[in-house]
Amino acid sequence: VIPATQAPSISLTKSADVTSVSAAGDPIEYEFVVTNDGNTTLTGITITDVAVGSVTCAATSLAPGASTTCTADATYSVTQAQIDAGEVVNNASVSGTPPSGPAVSDPAELTIPATQTPSIDLVKDADVTSVSAAGDPIEYDFVVTNDGNVTLTGIAITDAAVGAVTCVATTLAPGASTTCTADATYSVT
């Protein structure tokens, strides 16, 4: 009897159909390549990816040196939190069972950069279209819009003539707007 040294091993490579994202909701299609880089046949090949969900592999049994391609069953949708963070980080792992002994596994991480384009827009309005005397009151209000692709915090308006301005919201998601009003009526000089 000549013993056969068993060295089961598996490797996982993860890729995506995009190299960067720029908005919440952008789709990403993930693909995986699993390789049996050991010397025993592996069965029960499965990929775990919490973010992507279920993954289907062309083969679930691999001879030594063989590879199989696996694809996520659903397209992944980028979240606003990932755009705000500047990247989409996704982790997966593969496992396979050798003829004897415990299952072998390998993790894989893929980071896709998120292009951030912060931008803000301010529109100022008054309750009158003209004035005719010193002391005429003007009530100013403002509309602030986040026209970029990242969440903006600390929204504040500076207006030396008007003074303090209060905004309904100080955090704006992309595409959102808030109304701000001068705390005091301005008096024409």
In this prediction the pTM is: 0.86
Indicate the average pLDDT of the chain.
Answer: 97
How much is the average pLDDT of 115-129? 97
pLDDT band at 116 (very low <50, low <70, confident <90, very high): very high
Digit-coded pLDDT (tens) for 40-61:
999 999 999 999 999 999 999 9
How much is the average pLDDT of 157-174? 96
Q: Residue 18: what pLDDT? A: 97
Dump the DSSP string for 5-63.
-----EEEEEEES-S-B-STT-EE-EEEEEEE-SSS-BEEEEEE-TTT--EEES-S-B-
Residue 93 in contact with residue 11, Cβ under 8 Å?
no
